[in-house]
Structure 1
């Protein structure tokens, strides 16, 4: 081997060693950086005319386990969806209150029951009658406050959907832009790993909103699809459309057209069901909350309100009422019509005829809503009838508990038990999703940058650099010797 060849080989070794040291330092400094893929220098022996010509740098490989990353992203989607559901049922239970809480729905029913019993024992006491009115107003007020909480959850979900769609569109556009930049670098033989890291971070953010799968393409590009096949990025970025509303009330639904659905590139996109194009992530969970879970919860609450109003609307309870007049509890001041059940829980009111705050008189609780003048102050017949109407078991007309016979307090307990059961299931799903995500993130980290391994690699690089430097020094000394001859 000639002196020039020896120098060329050693210089190529020095170049490769310097590049390897640079990569090791990058790996160490980014060991905890989100989206960073460990770099590996790829080299091969160089030849010229069939003879060895040192070492050639082939390129820099971004070393990640695509399957673990894909599984972790799916887990992130599951965590986001589970959190949405668990948070909703937690808020619902808090709004309804636990049975032993003084302001819970069940406690409010019990308070009305006890106030009627106390009034029965002293029908002449205006104080006892006033307690009945107050307890009734507290009960219908509780139903209204739970309705407000449910509709607030729907409104917040609607706003979060809008935010997610905006974030999704921005990230998808940036991914498509990075794909183009990566293609240019890779086609020219330059290292695009840094841009790939940026793209990985964006894909992670998208995965929390929509579960994704990737398809590798030429020159380092990737196509992004939802797990159910919706195209998100394939050359160009998809564009989602959504129009949020302000305040949501029970009557507003997606079917009625009062709420916005989701569009993909201008075309309507289904958001419900296991096989919906975007099913499985945080965005689908928000639609499910707004259009499914919360609607179902409101339906159960309205069924309770219907049961309550119909107990006192029975004409047989108060013979002084004219047929068609409202009972003790009214639908916004009037008679309840079964075809108008949606949102009933928010419309319940105590009959103005017995409420002094609305110009009514307390004695009508004792003497009848249709009575024109006070009767015997010792007559507790109507109060006993009202008490029996509240505590008697009757067939529930609507909701998931329709057909069963329950007292008012029993029905309230059933609905609360339903909310608690759903919350427990949602929390279990959330715990499982979090545990799965944590396990996969740990596996991803273990397959990423290992500081000990990098330090060992740095020692090898130092030895290689020193060896090549020694060759250069030896060749220099040899040339000096030849020149002095």
Structure 2
């Protein structure tokens, strides 16, 4: 369409476009601090008056203004996928680093309250007994030092047990979070599909969808695939967690009791749908992956090594002590007792009577101190314990370094996403002013056209 009246349509399209642009700019500014919000932008294109190209007919129109094609999000789906992968790895490494740091703090080495100090005190008490074998106080000090040593072992075992229980409870808590988010994702898929069918704006739904995808990746390394209709399919450990408006249920199938206690088996998971098992997902990253590795590998390995140290120490001391003789010349009894397979947590001192401390290597009540001297110089487990502590320190250093390096990579990806989809107040203010000027210019075109038509209609042909 050509002519003066057609220009009203072009100007009107400019007004409508500028109104949409101002609405979008104000929406971006209002959500500048909203978590998960992605900057939106107006997609526009020039309108053409010719619906179809003609070979011979030639129109005299130069277009019908501007058309709003829609409002899109400033998002890169591949970059978001990379971010989910990096965040899953970050959570996996952070969990392990945090657990190891707490264990290192609980070990208290080097320090006066650590096991190494208790071992030194135990040996020193035997050395004091060598100098005063007839003194009850010296014998009582040996028993007291033995109690201090056994308590130090039990304390470290309790610390490791506390970390183990805490990690198991966190596994249960995070499994509940996965199920809650999966259910919301399934509901969101349905809403997105409906919005796609009826043409309703769904950018807010898509933002929430992306945020849930990231949270599931952080929790268990879930992999998400966006479908053509905007919905998403989520796989967890190689099995389908969410498909369309259906969500499976994740549960712990082995390794953790309802109260968070260990069952002696490695932690395993199960996905089920409508009471039917879908299989056991292999979750090896994210928060759940980090907790499982901390329980089944890190803490379990440290507890086994500590139990070996406690067992070796108790058996060595008991073997020597039962081969000696107490103050009355009677064969010595076992000084320590423990439960096999859980030595560090159950080790206790069996002796209570100072006279039963077997310091002598010969019977008959002779004040011989060969046995006490041997026990005072015995360092059977010191090397193993120092190696245990050194390995812990190296593990903490390595885990912290890996976590720090991964953090730099994760921040780089997050920065790229923020640069693309984050809201800049300055930029939106410029967009807002630009849209305002477009509106004013389009309105001015209408005013000018009105003046032209007024002259043509009301003044042309008027005689005086």
Q: TM-score range by the shorter chain?
A: 0.7 to 0.9
CA change 1:326–1:189 in 2 (3 A) is farther
Report how far residue 203 of structure 1 moved: 2.0
Q: Does 1:261 align with 2:268?
A: yes
Of residues 305, 308, 330 in structure 2, which corresponds to 1:300?
305
Question: After the TM superposition, which residues 21-36 of structure 1 pair with which residues of structure 2 at under 5 Å, given as runs?
Answer: 21-36=22-37
In structure 1, the residue matched to 2:18 is 17
Q: Distance in 1 between matches of 2:20 and 2:391?
A: 63
Report how far residue 56 of structure 1 moved: 2.0
In structure 2, the residue matched to 1:426 is 399
In structure 2, the residue matched to 1:330 is 337
Question: After the TM superposition, which residues 339-358 of structure 1 pair with which residues of structure 2 at under 5 Å, given as runs?
Answer: 340=340, 342-351=341-350, 354-355=351-352
In structure 2, the residue matched to 1:165 is 175
3-state DSSP of counterpart to 2:35: coil
Q: Does 1:439 align with 2:448?
A: no
Q: Does 1:7 align with 2:16?
A: no
Q: Does 1:232 align with 2:237?
A: no
3-state DSSP of counterpart to 1:363: helix
3-state DSSP of counterpart to 1:220: coil
In structure 1, the residue matched to 2:462 is none
In structure 1, the residue matched to 2:223 is 213
Residues 300-309 or 31-40, more deviating = 31-40
In structure 1, the residue matched to 2:58 is none
What does the per-residue CA deviation read over 1:56-81, in whole Å, with 9 as the maximum and x for residues that have no partner? 22111111122322222222222221
Report how far residue 315 of structure 1 moved: 6.3
In structure 1, the residue matched to 2:374 is 385
Question: After the TM superposition, which residues 361-400 of structure 1 pair with which residues of structure 2 at under 5 Å, given as runs?
Answer: 361-366=353-358, 375-376=365-366, 378-388=367-377, 390-391=378-379
In structure 2, the residue matched to 1:311 is 316
Report how far residue 89 of structure 1 moved: 1.4
3-state DSSP of counterpart to 2:65: strand
In structure 2, the residue matched to 1:96 is 107
Contact 1:162 1:244 in 2 (8 A): no
CA change 1:126–1:326 in 2 (3 A) is closer
Residues 451-460 or 285-294, more deviating = 451-460
Report how far residue 384 of structure 1 moved: 2.1
Q: Distance in 1 between matches of 2:354 and 2:445?
A: 109
Aligned-residue CA RMSD in angstroms? Answer: 2.6
Report how far residue 4 of structure 1 moved: 3.3
Q: Distance in 1 between matches of 2:333 and 2:433?
A: 89
CA change 1:62–1:148 in 2 (3 A) is same
Question: After the TM superposition, which residues 53-92 of structure 1 pair with which residues of structure 2 at under 5 Å, given as runs?
Answer: 53-92=64-103
Q: Distance in 2 between matches of 1:298 and 1:38?
A: 50
Question: After the TM superposition, which residues 279-298 of structure 1 pair with which residues of structure 2 at under 5 Å, given as runs?
Answer: 279-298=284-303
Unmatched 5+ stretches in structure 1 = 333-339, 356-360, 392-406
Q: Distance in 1 between matches of 2:209 and 2:32?
A: 17
Q: Distance in 1 between matches of 2:139 and 2:78?
A: 70
Q: Distance in 1 between matches of 2:67 and 2:257?
A: 57
Of residues 427, 449, 453 in structure 2, which corresponds to 1:475?
449
Of residues 379, 383, 387 in structure 2, which corresponds to 1:414?
387
Of residues 462, 465, 480 in structure 1, which corresponds to 2:439?
465
Residues 175-184 or 235-244, more deviating = 235-244
Q: Distance in 2 between matches of 1:91 and 1:160?
A: 15
Unmatched 5+ stretches in structure 2 = 52-60, 460-464
CA change 1:187–1:325 in 2 (3 A) is farther
Report how far residue 42 of structure 1 moved: 1.3
Q: Does 1:149 align with 2:159?
A: yes
CA change 1:367–1:46 in 2 (3 A) is closer
Q: Distance in 2 between matches of 1:163 and 1:311?
A: 43
What does the per-residue CA deviation read over 1:280-327, in whole Å, with 9 as the maximum and x for residues that have no partner? 111111111222211111100011011101212326852559xx9962
Q: Does 1:245 align with 2:245?
A: no
CA change 1:387–1:248 in 2 (3 A) is farther
Contact 1:261 1:269 in 2 (8 A): no
Report how far residue 482 of structure 1 moved: 3.8
How many correspondences in the alignment?
436
